[in-house]
Structures are given as C-alpha cells and as structure tokens.
Structure 1
Amino acid sequence: MKLFHQLLVAPAALGLLAPVAANATELNINGVSDYAASGEQVTSITQFSDVYPTDWAYQALSNLIERYGCVAGYPNGTYRGNRAMTRFEAAALLNACLDRVTEVTDELKRLMKEFEKELAILKGRVDGLEARVGELEATQFSTTTKLKGKTTFVIGAVNGGGDDDAADAYNASYGATTFNYDQRLVLNTSFTGKDKLLTRLRTGNFTKGSNAFGGSGVNLTALDVATDSAGGGGANNNVIIDRLYYKFPVGNEFTVIAGAVARNTESIALWPSKYNKGGAKILDWTSLMGTSGVYNKETGQLIGAYWQQKVKKGDNNLSVSINYVADDKDGNNSNPNEGGFMTSNSEASIMAQLGYGGPRWGLAFGYRYGQCDSGNGLRRGTSFAKDNNWNNSCFDANGVRRGSSTNSYALNAYWAPEDPGFIPSISLGWGLNTVSSNDKVEGSPVTTQSWMAGLKWDDVFLKGNDLGFAVGQPTFATALKGGDTPYDGNYVFELYYNFQVTDNIAVTPALFYLSRPEGQDTQAFGNGRGYDGQFNVFGGLVQTTFKF
C-alpha cells in the first residue's frame, strides 16, 4: 500500500501545492463539475481517446487504472493529460481513490478477522524466531568466521614379509597394532564474501621414528592423515598451526594466495584426479595421484596465483597455476646463509600447472623446480630413490657450496561416468624426476619415474559409499650415474571401502601391499645375496572420520 499511496498522493500534492495559477478567475467551473460528476469508473486505458502508447506516462496510467481503478476521465471520453490540474480536480481525483482505499481496507479487515487464529500463531512463531536469532547473534562465535572440524581415528598394523631376517627385523620394530588420531580445526574467515583467511590447528600422535603409519621404517607406509605434532618425536600431542594463508580474487578470473604456512598442492586451480576426491584418502602416495615429485606437499612461506577461465557451470575450463614456497624451517630464518625467503638457501620449490578440466574429465601438466635441500623433495618413493635425495644438498661433506637441484614433471588425467554405476571413474598419473649436481656419486640415480592408476566406484551398495582401488609404482630409479642398470622396482596396491554412516561420520576399512618398498636397497635385507633379496609389507587398517 505504501507504493500506492505515494503514486496517489504525489499528483494530488502537486495540484494542492501548485501556484495560485488555479484561482477562481482561471477555474473552469463547468469542466470541474463534469469531471466530478462523471461517476463512471474507467476500467481500461483504451477508454481514453486522447491517450496513446507513445505517451511517456502511458504505462503508469495503465497500471493505476488496471490495478487500483482510481483514475477518472471526462464524460466525452478524454483524459486531457497535458492540461494543468486545478485544486478542485485534484480533490475529485483524491476522493475517487480514497473510496477504493476504503474498499480495500474493509476487505483486509474481513480477511484479518477470518484468519485471526492463524495470524496469532504466525506472530508467535515470528516472535520466537526473533528471540532465537537474537540469542544466536549474542552468543555467535564470529560474524566473519566459521569453524570446521575433522577428527580421524586409525586402528591398524603392518607386517613385513619375504626373507626371514628382513621380515623379523622390520616386525620387531614396527609390527604392533596401533591406535592413532589426527585432529584438525579450521577457521575460515571472510571479510568481503569472496576472500578467505584460513587458519588450521592440528594435532596428532603418529610419532616420527616409531609409527609405521607415520612413515617410519618404510616411508611408503605413511598415511595421508598422519601427523606428528610433538615437534621432536615425542608424544606430547601439541596443537600446532599447520596452515595460515590468505586467498583473495583479483578481477573475475585471477586468485592470489599468500601465507606464512601454506602448501603448494592447495594453491592450484585444478586437482587432476577423481580417485579420492570426495572419498577416502589412505596412503599418502596414492593421495598425491602417483606423481609426488611435482605434487610433493611442500609447506612453508608461500606466494602464488592462478588464473581460471570463467565458463558455465558444468563446462570444462582452462587454468594456469604457479606458486613459490620456501621450506617452513628456512623461510623465516633471517640468516641468508642458512635460509630466508627467496634466497639460494630457502630450500624452496617452484611449482606450475597447466590444467583443463571439469566434472566429467580433465588433464593437467605439472612442473616443479626443487632448490637444493628442498624439504619434501620427491616426497614418497623407494628407500633407494629417496636416500638423501642423492646429492641434492646445498653443500658437500667439506662445507663447499655446490650446484644442485631437482626438476620434476607430471602428467595426470581423469574421467568419470555421467551416472555412478558399475563403471568407475579412472585417474591416471605419470611422473619423471631428474637430480642435477656437480659431484654426483657413481651409481646414484640421475632419473626417477613413477606412475599410478586409480579406480573409484561411487554409491556402492548404498548411496554415498565409495570403493577405491589403486595400483602403481612409487618413485623409483630408472637411470644411474655411470650407466649401471638399476634394480629399484616396487609396486603398491591399495583397496578401500568408504562407508558413509551419516553425513558426518565415515568408516573406511583399507588394505595395502608394498611389493618391494626398499627398492635396490633390498640387498641389505637379503643376507648379502645382491639385489635378489625379498622384502614386502602388508598393511590393514580401519579409518573412522568425524566431520563437523
């Protein structure tokens, strides 16, 4: 009614406030009399012979007639829209419209009386809702920050097999069943609705040096969720900040990321795999799409950006990502001879990715340059391939500076069926890594490779449940300095079933098998019989995840 009143009162007020040009000497009494006494209500604008669709107020006049029925004309069928309104004419028009207002008001009163009980109930609910909203506003955590949590329990064990001496030695140190946890609390803060300041608190008891699922004994048994927050191999269960970064858009297609504790794999526009996206993550290596040389989870002081083409929802888009991250223990060191940000001793990684993908399929080419001593290096692989990253340290045994670096390349692709069923999504990855140094040791790897194929079935048995299977070869040596043939092959098999108990609770039993995780170093477990030594690891676990 407010809009109606404004439309109604405006012309009347203009007439009432008009200059005294409409005085008695100028007043056409006969015309006013005709106007006021017409008595016939106009129901269509077509009844006016002098109003045309080209008139600037045609639509407004039409709305007043059809919606409110309070526009009157002259008995001769004219409206005379260009004529100045006299005060008497304004009074006549106002009187006609007030009659319509009275009719509407009476109708509203009747309806209000008829629905009196329902309106009372509705008012009570609204009052209750306002009270609850007021209470929430008074006790809410923050107007800009949301808290998300993820708790993971892992119960399981590993068992070494193969040559008796090797298996017995491994099981004596790592064969016990363990019960571990990982706890993450994420604070997402937005100041504009499009930016994000992320702070993550994390704690866990996958103790380094003594827990197989933390990567002790054989690095390939490490789980994706494993964290040791003791800061020194103890069991102190300290709470640490393991993510702290700010992400904000620049224009419609660019995003910039800067953080004091950020990760390179979380600063790219496209994750080119379907294997455990939205499902479970078990082994750390399979969670990295089998190309851990590029996607090595380097974490520290980071700056990065990515461009992502804007397309319609559901369409594939092109993206380009690049980031620089200095290793966390070096990027905040003021001594340029030991660390610093963007220095020769930052132990930094520079990663770039060119991707093209969407919901159904996608592919990406990734590249990472690793500075000497770069923290995570090749991340996961055979013990032989990862042994000290084979001369990728910044200084030799005499403390002399040397040129050393790694170059890693990755090709990844995925495809998913339109409807979940018997056909799984397919994720493929292949990686190539080179280590350059001016004094490499004879027999050390100069080239390593890796590959993985992952299959994931959605909605298995019940909607929301996933079945995953992966096979591949983690980073293994394919060429040695001096031209010798490497014997570094090893296969990984992983199988999991993700049972979604509720929207917030998932239980995931999983099995994995490492055929030869020591690679060429297996000779150390083979009673001196050279490269024919046998050593494998079988693991089983139940992973329970709570999200809130």
Structure 2
Amino acid sequence: MGRYPLIFLTLTFTLQVFVPQAKAQPDASLSSPVIPVWELKDVQPTDWAFSALQSLQQRYQCIEGYPDRTFRGEQVMSRYEFATLLNRCLSHDEVINREQPTIDRLQTEYVRELAILRGRVDGSTARVRELEITEFSTTTKLKGVVNFVVTDSSQEGEDTGVVFQARSRLNFNTSFTGKDSLLTRLTVGNALTPNLADGTKEVTQTHQFQGNTDNQVILGKLSYKFPIGERTIAILTPVGGQHRDYNLPAINPFFEDDNAGTTTLSTFAQRHPILSLGGASGLAMSHLINDSLQVGAGYYTPDGSDTDTGLFGGSYSAGIGVKWDAGKDVSVGLNYLHGFFQEGDFGFTDGLSESSSILGTSIVNDTLSQFSTVTNAYGIEAFWRVNRKLGLGGRLGYTDVKVLDEGDAAIWNYSLSLVFPNAGDKNDLGGIIIGVQPYLGRSMGNSQFSNEMPLHLEGFYKWQVSDEVSLTPGLIWHPNPNQSVTEADLFTSSLRMTVTF
C-alpha cells in the first residue's frame, strides 16, 4: 500500500470532519485547469485509492497531477507538501459553507473529547521538543543485496563446468546529524573468478567482486560522508575506498551500482576502468560548483593501516574528476589519476587492499605488478539519454606508465554501450556493451608480448520480477582473451537472481 494514497484517505476524512472554522483566502492556483483523475496515466480505476482521489477532486478541486499527466502515487510525501495540499483544500469557500453545519454539530457534541485530545497533543509536543534538545541518538538503516548465480565460463581445451555461486552484502547506513552518512558493509560469499587464459581478470563478474570470503563474514567497506558547507562533502574511508566515491552521481547511472550485482554482469561495464586503479584507505571531497558542474578529488593507499608506511609513505593513487551535465539528458565526465605503486601493488583493484585486480588482462596486471611504477591515467566518458527507453554511452582511457629502471609502457581501454531503461515492464533494464578492457599496448624496454585488442562483448536483461527480486540472464564473449590471438575465445553465460531488502 503506497504512502500517498494513505495520506489522501486521511485528508478526505479531515475535510469531512475536522475542517477549522477560520476563513482562509482562496488560493489563486486553484483557478488553473485540473487534470481529471481518470486521465492521469498512472492511475487506474482498479486502484484501491481511486475513489478517494476522485472524491477529493470532484468535491474540492484540490488534487492535481504533474505536468506530464502522472500522479506518482507511490512517491513519498513530505510534511510541507501535505500542509500545502491541505491548505488548498481548506481554502475553498464551498468547503467551509458545505461542511460548516456538520463541523458545528461535531464540535458541540465532542467538546470534552477535543479538549482532552488537545491537552494530550500539547503534552506530547513538549516532551518531543525536550528530547530534541537534550537527547543524542543515531538512526541506522539496513539495506541488503543477495546474489544467487548459476554461471559457466568456458574456453576450448579447458575443463570447465556450470557452478552455483552466491554473495551477500549487508549495508548499515547510520546518520548522526541527518546530513551525514556512515556506511558499514559486511560481505560474505563463495564466488570465485574462473582461472582461464593465464588468469585474466576480463571474466570477472560483479558478484565476484570481493565475492570469495571462504563463507566468512568480512568488513567490505567502512566510509563516512559528512557535509562541509552547503555544496561540499568530505569522505573518509578506512576500508574499501574507491575513486568512484567522489565521482557520484555516475555518468551512466543505469550501470553503476558499486558492483552490487543489480545491473551489469561484468565489472568492466560498471564504470570507467581508470577509476579502478588503486584505492583502499583514503580521503576525498566532492564539490557542487553549480547545478550542472561538479568536481571531486581523492587520495587512496593500500598501506593505510601499515604503521611503517601509513597514508603517505608507500603506494598511493590520487585523482580528480569533473562531471558536467551539458543538458537535461547529456552528461560528460573527465578524470585524471596519478599514482605510485611499489612492487606487488599495481592493479585495477577498485579498492581491494589485497591487490586483487577485478578487470583487465593478466598481462597488464601481472606484468606491471612485478615492478615499481609511476602512472598517469586520463579518462573521458559521456552518456546521452536519448529518450525514456534508450541511452548511449562511451568511454576512452589512456594510462602512461613509467616502469622504474625498465622503461615506459601504455595502457588503453575503450567501450560503447547501449542502455535500455524501462525495457519491457517499468523497472526492467537491458544493456549491450562493446569494448576493449585495459591492456598493455606498448612494450617496455625489451619486453616481448602479444598486444592484440582483448575485445569484450556483453549483453544482459534484468527482469524485475517484484520490488525485491530480479532475474538477469546474460552472455559475455571475449575474443583475443589476455590480448593474445593464440588463446581460444572465452564465453560466459550467467543467470543471476538478485534479492534486495
């Protein structure tokens, strides 16, 4: 049962029983045309609150839809909106004249009960006010995501088979002031990334991100956001920090879900790959310059808890990102990341402190992790919401790598995506991604390796069975896996059931 219809039933009862005697001035906006209830696109005669909405509109002319001819009955109503709506209904002279005899009779018959009720309300208000002044309390909300996945990643000549995997996340969101947010994420699962094509991470799926915990509950992320002024937010993250944290809202909001397993199948399709370089412990800030321009910056290190190196004594990655809403349906993002990685720390880890890469070829991840490196990564991303059911996205990334005492190297990645929001039923989502995962495109020194483009072709469809359950079948095809023409193609098929609560 939606909260909006319940409030309107309350409003109907209020108008018929407790309309005050004060003569309010009519609201000028009441003279504007009112869309009949039966012409609202998302209100049906079979809806349980239809008669209440129709009665309020016909009798008092105070119920209106939005300009797009929708009512949005499931949307939460604030106290300000309720007060405005009640005032509009009470401002009609016809309401006062029609209901006045009933009001006078009820006030006479229930004068004693009304006096008792008024006293109780005044007492409750005083006690609540005292609690607001003297008490300190926190509010914690729990949001959970559970992925059950039947998946098969196969390659000719390899012994593979269908496996059943699961991963669960519990997100505890706590607010101390109402404007801050402390995120504590607990994760447990048995989801392994298959070991194919020399262990390439191109096959990593979102439910496999921090998915193998040996069925032990671990602290997946600990992050605290709090405002600094009206337009600036600071983010402190001891565990699980990511460069995406200061790049929100995402350029492509339909794919980005922090690897929760509710949208894309692959981690590659989630966000721009350079945002997965480094992470773990750090701090960040995000500032809204105006309604269309946002800038953020962050600094992260995998050694934040190490007493010998700390935040500033070892490997690190520092970045800055800019998001520009060029129009109502067009967004553009620019990112720059500078990093220093000691031997064993390089990788597209996306905040995993154990330096376990989650995308890209094993040639780029494993080769460069053998050395100390200095990186400068540049990325551009754009998204265009063509219409209600179609979106187009594109990404391009280049990373210049200086391998200390060895030479230089280059990493490339790019992709195009088709997004089908509101596909089928209202909350379904479809997607097609064609791209190239991060690969080593230029040799360093005298190193010899294959640098064929490791293609990534992915298609999925998320069917929202109910508000809490979705089913997502999909396929991923990897020609030239691990940037090698000698490797047989990789194929991944998955059927994922996601339960949210």
TM-score normalised per structure 1: 0.61
Q: Assess if the C-alpha contact under 8 Å between 1:213 and 1:222 holds in 2.
A: no
Corresponding residue for 2:305?
A: 332
Q: 1:516 to 1:256 in 2, by over 3 A?
A: same
Out of 139, 155, 158, the residue aligned to residue 150 of structure 2 is: 155
Alpha-carbon distance between aligned partners in 2 of 1:280 and 1:216, rounded to the nearest angstrom: 28
SS in 1 for 2:453: coil
The residue aligned with 2:443 is 480
The 2-side partners of 1:498 and 1:297 are apart by 28
> Which of 224, 230, 237 is the equivalent residue of 1:246?
224
Q: 1:182 touches 1:227 (CA, 8 Å); kept in 2? A: no
C-alpha distance in 1 between matches for 2:378 and 2:443: 18
Task: Tell me the residue number matched to 1:259.
Answer: 237
Say what the alpha-carbon RMSD is for the aligned residues: 3.4
The 5-angstrom pairing of residues 90-489 of structure 1 reads 110-112=105-107, 143-161=138-156, 168=157, 171-172=158-159, 175-207=160-192, 211-212=193-194, 217-228=199-210, 235=214, 237-261=215-239, 262-277=241-256, 280-288=263-271, 291-292=272-273, 294-296=274-276, 298-311=278-291, 317-327=292-302, 330-336=303-309, 340-343=310-313, 345=314, 347-357=315-325, 360-373=329-342, 375=345, 377-378=347-348, 379=357, 380-389=359-368, 391-393=370-372, 404-420=373-389, 424-440=390-406, 446-481=409-444, 487-489=451-453
Residues 477, 145 of structure 1: CA spacing in aligned structure 2 closer, same or farther, 3 A cutoff? same
Q: Which amino acid aligns with 2:333?
A: A
Q: How does 1:45-124 map to 2 (within 5 A)?
A: 110-112=105-107
Letter in 2 for 1:148: K
- The answer as to whether partners of 1:392 and 1:405 remain within 8 angstroms in 2 is no
Q: Deviations over 1:157-213 (max 9, x none)?
A: 01103xxxxxx2xx22xx121111111111111111111111111111124xxx419
Structure 2 residue identity aligned to 1:194:
K
Contact residue 477 and residue 488 of structure 1 kept, 8 A? no
Compare CA radii of gyration and give the structure with the larger one. Answer: 1
Q: How far apart are the structure 1 equivalents of 2:328 and 2:220?
A: 30
Residues 276/371 of structure 1: CA separation in 2 closer, same or farther (3 Å cut): same
Question: Contact 2:346–2:369 (CA<8 Å) still a contact in 1?
Answer: no
2:488 corresponds to which residue? 535
Q: Is the 8 A contact 1:204 1:227 kept in 2?
A: no
CA drift of 1:412 comes to: 0.4
The answer (yes or no) to whether the contact 1:265–1:297 under 8 Å persists in 2 is no
Aligned length: 370
Are residues 432 and 307 of structure 1, via their aligned partners in 2, closer, same or farther at CA, if it must alter by over 3 Å? same
Of 436, 452, 472 in structure 2, the residue corresponding to residue 508 of structure 1 is: 472
Q: Give SS of 1:369's match.
A: strand
Identity score, percent = 23
* Secondary structure, counterpart of 1:417 in structure 2: strand
Matched AA of 1:254: T
In 1: Cα distance, 2:172 partner to 2:253 partner: 26
For the Cα contact (< 8 Å) 2:414–2:435, is it kept in 1? yes
Q: Name 1:57's counterpart in structure 2.
A: none
**Which runs of 5 or more structure 2 residues have no equivalent in the other structure?**
1-19, 22-99, 125-136, 349-356
Instruction: Give me the whole-angstrom Cα distance separating, in 2, the residues matched to 1:474 and 1:106.
Output: 75
Give how far 1:309 is off. Answer: 2.7
8 A Cα contact 1:506 1:546, kept in partner: yes
Quickly say closer, same or farther: Cα 1:296–1:220, change in 2 above 3 A.
same
Aligned 8 A contact 1:275 1:454 in 2? no
Stretch of structure 1 that moved more, 463-472 or 271-280? 271-280
SS class of match (1:518): helix
Closer/same/farther in 2, CA of residues 108 and 428 from structure 1, 3 Å limit: closer
Q: Matched residue of 2:367: which SS?
A: helix
Distance 1:458 1:504 in 2: 18
Distance (Å, rounded) in 1 between the aligned partners of 2:246 and 2:188: 22
For each residue in 1:28-66, what CA deviation from the matched residue of structure 2 results, as whole angstroms up to 9, or x when unmatched?
Answer: xxxxxxxxxxxxxxxxxxxxxxxxxxxxxxxxxxxxxxx
Distance 1:407 1:459, change over 3 A: same
Residue 481 of structure 2 aligns to a residue whose secondary structure is coil
- Taking the aligned partners of 2:269 and 2:252, their CA distance within structure 1 comes to 10
Deviations 1:112-148 (A, max 9, x none): 47799xx99xx9xx99xx9xxxxxxxxxxx8511111
Q: Residues 270, 227 of structure 1: CA spacing in aligned structure 2 closer, same or farther, 3 A cutoff? A: closer
Shift of 1:461: 2.1
Distance 1:449 1:256, change over 3 A: same
- Quote the offset at 1:458 in angstroms: 1.7
Matched-pair contact (CA < 8 Å) for 2:155–2:196: no
How many Å apart are 1:319 and its aligned residue? 1.1
Q: 1:353 to 1:206 in 2, by over 3 A?
A: same
CA 1:464–1:269 in 2, change beyond 3 Å: closer, same or farther?
closer
Which SS does the other structure have where 2:283 is aligned?
A: strand
Unaligned 5+ runs, structure 1: 5-104, 131-141, 162-167, 312-316, 394-403, 523-531
Q: Distance in 2 between matches of 1:476 and 1:251?
A: 41
Q: Deviations over 1:265-324 (max 9, x none)?
A: 123244222451476121111112xx31x210644221111111343xxxxx11111001
Shift of 1:419: 2.6
